[in-house]
Each structure stands twice: as C-alpha cells, then as structure tokens.
Structure 1
Amino acid sequence: MQIRIPAVYMRGGSSKAVFFHQNHLPNDEEIRDQVILAAYGSPDPNRRQIDGMGGAVSTTSKVAIISPCKNPDFDVNYTFGQVAIDKPMIDYQGNCGNISSAVGPFAVDEGLVNAEEPITKVRIYQTNTKKLIVAEVPVKDGRHQIE
C-alpha cells in the first residue's frame, strides 16, 4: 500500500535531508519511523537505498521533522534523525549542524513563520539537544533566498 505524505528534500551545508511536517507523519513513533525508513529505502542489506530517497551514505540519510512550537520563546520545533542505511533504525540522539542550517529556510518557505524582508529571524527549538538555534534567513518575495 502506498500513501502520499508531503515532504521537501533540502540541502543544508554538505548534507541532505527529507523534511517532514510533524503533523503529516503518524503520531505513533514506531509507525512514524517505519514510514521514514520506507521513504529512505532502509534497511538495505546492500547499502544502496535504491528503493528510497537515501543516498547510501550518512550525509544523505538524514531526516528533519518540523512543527510549529507552542512555546512563545520559539517559532518551530526541529527533531533531527540519522537514518541507518542497513538497519531498521533512526538515531535521534544528536543533531546535525548542516541540516540545522536548512530549518530556517524550510520554516520560511512552508509558512511556519512570517517572512520579513530582508532578513527573517527564526527561533528553532532543537528537540534532540533541547537547545535554541537562531537562524537569520535572507528573504525576498516571501521566500528564502539562496546565496
């Protein structure tokens, strides 16, 4: 069975990730992880991830789960996951600075924050590390600008 789940494939620094809105994923964490693993083509005993979006290396097997933040001190929540290539596992223990750099632009483009020209400040709550990340996103015509 196939179901459609909106997602955005973004580069952040030297890494790439599939970005999901949390509300587009199942609430049950086990089922959510099964969906994410399937999107990446993991696990793949041949370590190629041909059946999914994964690129068969750790820098292209990352996931970002984003949601609006209910805490007024932050704009969005960001959960990072490192998707295993050959195991049915997603590691949510750490963070990736490269993917963190794409969260602000994602939040702007997806309408999770009010875009203000020329710079939109996005206050990101990194749920894995419980830290604040402040992104300053160049904006023009309501969208982030690629430098």
Structure 2
Amino acid sequence: MQTIHTMIRIRASPENIWNALVVSPAIPTEIKNAIRDGKTGQKLIVPMNAGGRGATLTVKLLAVDPLREIRWKGYLWIPGLFDGKHSFEIRNDREGITLLVQRKIFSGLLLPLLSGTISATKQQFETMNAAIRDEAERGTT
C-alpha cells in the first residue's frame, strides 16, 4: 500500500472551498455528475490519463457530505490489480482558515511497477490544491 497525503490552508469558508472543489478538474466529470445527482454507491466508468497513457477506471462514489467530504474508490481493469481510494476533506482549522486535505491510497499487484506514476500524482495533487485554494479565496464560483 502507498499513500499520498496533501494539505493546504485556505483563507475561505468551507462553502467557498466546496464550490471551488466541485467545479475543479480535480474531480473527474463522471464523479461530479454522480455528486450532483446524489448517486453514491453506483459504479461509474471514468476515463483517466496516467503518465501520458489512457486508462479506464471503474469507480464507486462512497461518500458525499457537502462542505465536508467527497470519497470514492476505484480500480484498473479488475479489483486487486491497481486500486485507489481517493478523498477530499474540508476541515475547520481556525477562524478564517480552512484545511483542504486530499488523500489517495494505492494498492494492488501492479503497485511496484507504477511508482513513477504515483510520484507524479503527488505533484498533481499539490497543483490542484493550489488552484482550488485560489478559486475559493476569490470566491467567484
């Protein structure tokens, strides 16, 4: 198992962060649609681009708690080969500051072969978090 954990402090309300998060490219369109339609538990087919290669993941939206959490799990081809659990959490830190925590837990037989993809993913998370922060702090969503 390998975990990526990123966190960013944002000078915005949980509502502004939530609004910025659910329109951001950090969440695939298919998952955004399921969030909007309240379809937790349903299997979704999500095309992804990992390391310049296209792949299709089967994803299940596990939790949507507006202003607090979005969580899903998915796998490549068959469960146990290359799996991931992804979450976003919005946490109160102190007055005027809110934390956005993004976490992904990877597991599966192909994990040792995909360490380069996983390393690049952490940088992508940090870039996405900064974009969400900037949008939330502008409050324009």
- Per the normalisation by structure 1, the TM-score is 0.31
Higher relative contact order (CA 8 A, sep 6+): 2
Which is helix-richer, 1 or 2?
2
- Per the normalisation by structure 2, the TM-score is 0.32
Which is strand-richer, 1 or 2?
2
